[in-house]
Structure 1
């Protein structure tokens, strides 16, 4: 009987490195932004709401790669901090439209430079051309497997 688990080298598995890169990205973000009390998902949600004021919950969830029930908790926390408000959609009473508050915009303005620094630090070991190629390849993987995630394909 073969034992496929024997001597399996994690350093040959892309999923292992994907998880490790995610760990690094989160750790660097936390070092740069952690004292502001905004998680990476809260940041991406606030950024998206500020980019698209009046966005509905489903569109926001798709934009940041979360399901609608999980994103509801994220929005709850942002709303509790006074960073966003939810209003009933005039065209669909079941839908809630999310809009940033002035405080939300102010917090985002303070977060962005620090978040960008975390991104720079993540990519620092790569040459400039490698950085672009790394991001391009990650987009290829995400787009090719869109049906497995909450984010629709960009095609």
Structure 2
């Protein structure tokens, strides 16, 4: 049996997991506010941006790239396809593989989303000085990279993320 001394007195606000969860809530809220009527979620944005950067990527590779499980990624692609922003095409070299391509409407939507995404990032980091932003992003990327394999949906890390955008 546990005594109150073993569980009482832990300050939740000093726990990194709690702070990270709170920052995630804030980040999503700011992102959605900046997107406004465009109605793109952070995960949809990530999928669109990756497909725009890597035309013809297959859905399984997309899932690993943005660190989502396959079924969640399938739902994201379904919603973007229903909007007319992504399309699935059968791969010529392997008829079982479906490649993803951004449509002209998807490119237009992404072009509208990028400034909103950048505003959201700026707003989230606004309390930090330029030096603190670089330090924060460096430390954040270290935590993500070093703990990647602990994720339920590990990302395919392609190298150390750049902090140039902050």
The TM-score with structure 2 as length reference comes to: 0.89
How far apart, in 2, do the equivalents of 1:76 and 1:56 lie? 14
2:50/2:62 contact within 8 Å kept: yes
Where does structure 1 lack aligned partners over 5 or more consecutive residues? Answer: none
User: Structure 2: how far apart are the matches of 1:136 and 1:43?
Assistant: 22
- 2:54 is aligned with 1:47: no
The match for 1:151 is 155
1:153, distance to aligned residue in structure 2 (A): 4.0
Contact residue 144 and residue 153 of structure 1 kept, 8 A: no
Q: Which runs of 4+ in 1 moved over 4 A?
A: none
Aligned length: 155
Q: How far off is 1:78 after superposition? A: 0.3
- Do the aligned residues in 1 keep the contact of 2:32 with 2:39 (CA within 8 Å)? no
What secondary structure is seen at the aligned counterpart in 2 of 1:20?
Answer: helix
Residue number in structure 2 paired with 1:70:
72
Q: Identify the range of structure 1 (144-153 vs 36-45) with the bigger mean alpha-carbon deviation.
A: 144-153
The structure 2 residue matched to 1:13, chosen from 7, 15, 21, is 15
Residue in 2 aligned with 1:127?
129
Gaps of 5+ in 2: 160-166
RMSD of aligned Cα (Å): 1.2
- More displaced stretch, 120-129 vs 89-98: 89-98
Contact 2:59–2:98 (CA<8 Å) still a contact in 1? yes
SS of the counterpart of 2:10?
coil
TM-score (norm 1): 0.95
Q: Structure 1 residue 2: deviation in Å?
A: 3.1
Aligned counterpart, 2:3 = 2
**Whole-Å Cα distance in 2 between the matches of residues 38 and 154 of structure 1?**
25
Q: Which residue of 1 aligns with 2:87?
A: 85
**Residue 163 (structure 2) aligns with:** none
